[in-house]
Amino acid sequence: MPVTIEDISKQLGVSISTVSRALNGKADVSEATKERVQQVAQKMGYQPSAAARNLRRQRTEKIGFVFNDAISHFSDYFAEIIAGATTEAEENGHNIVLYTNKGDSADGLLNLCKTREVDGLILVWNHVPSAIIDPLIAEGLPFVILGRRVNHPQASYITPDNYNGAMALMQHLLSLGHTRIGFITRPLMKLTYVDRFAAYTDALENAGIPFDSSLVVETEGGKECNSLATKQLLDLPVPPTAAIAFHDLIAVDVLTVILERGLRVPQDIALAGFDGLNASLLVKPSITTVKQPLREIGEQSVQALLRCIENSKQPPIQKTLPVQLEIRESTSG
Amino acid sequence: MPVTIEDISKQLGVSISTVSRALNGKADVSEATKERVQQVAQKMGYQPSAAARNLRRQRTEKIGFVFNDAISHFSDYFAEIIAGATTEAEENGHNIVLYTNKGDSADGLLNLCKTREVDGLILVWNHVPSAIIDPLIAEGLPFVILGRRVNHPQASYITPDNYNGAMALMQHLLSLGHTRIGFITRPLMKLTYVDRFAAYTDALENAGIPFDSSLVVETEGGKECNSLATKQLLDLPVPPTAAIAFHDLIAVDVLTVILERGLRVPQDIALAGFDGLNASLLVKPSITTVKQPLREIGEQSVQALLRCIENSKQPPIQKTLPVQLEIRESTSG
DNA sequence: TTGTAAGCGTTATCAT
DNA sequence: ATGATAACGCTTACAA
């Protein structure tokens, strides 16, 4: 049904190869025919068949965006990243294809590689073990890990500076005189997010404050679980005077529990989050956070991936983007 | 580089057509060879080339998701919709491809149709004029409009029930005794969102309250503009005792201005939003809103589109999904 | 400068 | 039940 180069060639009485060359602006075709071909193509509303072109070129100009977590839990987190990635991709003639749950087993991901339906992958995963990375490299499809650092010499990643962000947060709290600082975290073993925790312990050590494991509580996420973890902290014999939540959405739940207890923030307990999500700004008091350059992370991941796609010998790109401490009412109200 | 059916055929000493048939589970191939082929394919890590298959089948199993607005402005709005759509698509063997700005002119969209890089389109647009719809229909690529009703007999859409949602909101405010109700809206002429406004005027009329145009103020969106519109309303000789913002994000800005003025919500002025975005729940006081089934809208749009793709004579699917009034502190605190 | 033809990896139509 | 072969629409090496 759609117009093909053959239609154009018949229309003009030239060969299809001439049409192809003319449309692709090759040098070895006369200006005159180039002109004619392009005009007729335009007039007939010709657009090249993506499938045919993909098959021939062995490229799809598409980038796979693979989530292994529920997208919707982190609305602005993902929306910003996707917005940045999509824009950057389109500016470079590519499109983003979304995938979820390809990562439960390595197989799904590898199959995705083999179908060659995308030219490369961006992985938005909580945790990317070597057991996934190695076969991925063997597969030869370029990929970039987004938002997570990974200890693998051949893997590219674009990540926010979790360590220094958490460190800035700790310095801030310490400078306010806090010495008992709670840390409400996602299970550390499951995550590559250890950087935030490392900054926590390092900052304490630097300040000469002994580490107290009872101040570190875990939550699997979800309002219930976040609430439970918070109560665990507040019910300590000597409760903390400040707390850091692993990210802003947890912080919001923590805040709710604290206020329900009739405690004042920051007077009775200071609170900080992480990521710079909108939610942290909307609640009362607004929550001090560390802002990630989400849009930029999306953009740069695409840029990095495109470079890997262009040049197969491109050495891994590993970038840590600066983050920014945003001091708000919850710590210095 | 990747394994092809030819590799498998050589390995087994059968023809490629037999391999193809075996892999596609056709009837006319012996159980024995089917078994052998599948085992070898498995062992060799075969996955069919998407490009080749697409070219041959004239289908890509991909759905285009086209935004003509900045994705990030509405983080949870889009995240929920995308999450629903992606999940639904994957359950049916399809994937979502994201596009932005294809809609500034009809051309970009039509070109997208012609390349056949997706089997159908879901349009997430503020406004879809007939000037866009008609050529789209002529192009023959199935499409569904998401989140907007459209007056076109041949266009499919999945939309929340804007009229009844706004009506429920008005009934609620009227039942609280309000008679001067402000309406802070996006420019009505530019949008198909007239339904919300229609409910506003209808509700007034039903209640025997004369329409006062000074109570309807426009904003282009953005904090500045929302703030200006709010002030316009508050500065009226006789200000309203209640206000409806076009959506929750505007409502949040409106709330900020009201509180800055030292007015109490809802005692001095009641406030309601629309859409059911997270933001409306996080602010203090929480904002009464009308919750859209965002995830379901995403899912059903995909379902509808898939049906159109399956069956080219599928009559247009036009669905209005029920919404739910969520009464919160901002109207009945 | 232009045309011919091979090939990208499938699927589908014919024979056998 | 299986094999040869022709598409699908494009790009490109090779001929003319």
pLDDT digits (tens, 9 = 90+) for B13-50: 899 999 999 999 888 888 888 889 999 999 999 999 99
- Residue B190's pLDDT band, with cuts at 50, 70 and 90, is low
**Would you state the pLDDT for residue B160?**
96
Q: Which nucleotides of D are covered by protein (CB under 7 A)?
A: 1-5, 7-13
**Would you state the pLDDT for residue A189?**
67
Cis peptide before B2 (omega within 30 of 0): no
Distance CA A5, CA A100 (A): 37
Token output for A84: 């940045």
**Would you state the pLDDT for residue B191?**
67
User: In this predicted model, what pLDDT tens digit does every residue of A27-40 receive, in sequence order?
Assistant: 888 888 889 999 99
Using DSSP's 3-state secondary structure scheme, residue A146 falls into strand
Interval B188-212 mean pLDDT? 89
Answer yes or no: is pLDDT of A2 > 90: no
Interval A142-160 mean pLDDT? 94
Pick among B47, B60, B99, B281 to test the A interface (most A CBs inside 10 A)? B47
**Nucleotide nearest A8, from its CA to each C1':** D9
Interval B275-283 mean pLDDT? 95
Strand C close to B11 by CB, under 7 A? no
Architecture of domain A62-160+294-321: 3-Layer(aba) Sandwich (3.40)
**Would you state the pLDDT for residue A173?**
98
Name the closest residue (CA) to the C1' of nucleotide D3. Answer: B15
**Nucleotide nearest A53, from its CA to each C1':** D10
**Would you state the pLDDT for residue A70?**
64
Q: What is the pTM of this model?
A: 0.93
Based on its alpha-carbon atoms, the radius of gyration of chain A, rounded to whole angstroms, reads: 26
User: In this predicted model, what pLDDT tens digit does every residue of A255-292 receive, in sequence order?
Assistant: 999 999 999 999 999 999 999 999 999 999 999 999 99
Instruction: Decide whether B62-160+294-321 matches B162-292+326-332 in CATH topology.
Output: yes
Answer yes or no: is pLDDT of B209 > 80: yes
CA–chain centroid gap for A18, Å, is 44
CA distance A207 to chain B (A): 35
When the pLDDT of each residue in chain A is averaged and rounded to a whole number, the result is 93
Token output for B225: 């503009």
**Would you state the pLDDT for residue A130?**
86
Distance CA A167, CA A202 (A): 8
- CA of A108: which chain B residue's CA is closest? B47
Q: Domain-by-domain residue ranges, chain A?
A: 5-48, 62-160+294-321, 162-292+326-332
Least confident of A72-76, A99-103, B209-213: A72-76
- Residue B72's pLDDT band, with cuts at 50, 70 and 90, is low
> Could you tell me which of B322, B80, B294, B90 has the C-alpha nearest to residue A66?
B90
Interatomic separation, CA of residue A112 and C1' of nucleotide D11, rounded (Å): 25
Answer yes or no: is pLDDT of A97 > 60: yes
Using DSSP's 3-state secondary structure scheme, residue B88 falls into helix
Interatomic separation, CA of residue B17 and C1' of nucleotide D5, rounded (Å): 10
- Residue A185's pLDDT band, with cuts at 50, 70 and 90, is very high
CB proximity list for A31: less than 8 A, separation 6 or greater: none
User: In this predicted model, what pLDDT tens digit does every residue of B103-133 receive, in sequence order?
Assistant: 667 888 999 999 999 999 999 987 888 888 9
Pick among B101, B137, B259, B282 to test the A interface (most A CBs inside 10 A)? B282
CATH code at A162-292+326-332: 3.40.50.2300
Interatomic separation, CA of residue B3 and C1' of nucleotide D4, rounded (Å): 22
Q: Does domain A5-48 have CATH number 1.10.260.40?
A: yes
Task: Look at B83 and A72 and tell me if their CB atoms are within 8 Å.
Answer: yes
**Would you state the pLDDT for residue B59?**
95
- Residue B280's pLDDT band, with cuts at 50, 70 and 90, is very high
**Would you state the pLDDT for residue B105?**
74
**Would you state the pLDDT for residue A221?**
85
Distance CA B28, CA B18 (A): 9
Answer yes or no: is pLDDT of B302 > 70: yes
Distance CA A116, CA A175 (A): 53
Pick among B59, B71, B72, B81 to test the A interface (most A CBs inside 10 A)? B72
Pairing relation of β-strands B62-67 and B95-100? parallel
CA distance A203 to chain B (A): 32
Task: Look at B279 and A278 and tell me if their CB atoms are within 8 Å.
Answer: yes
Task: Look at B47 and A283 and tell me if their CB atoms are within 8 Å.
Answer: no
Classify residue A115 as exposed, middle or buried by CB count within 10 Å of its CB (0-12, 13-18, 19+).
middle
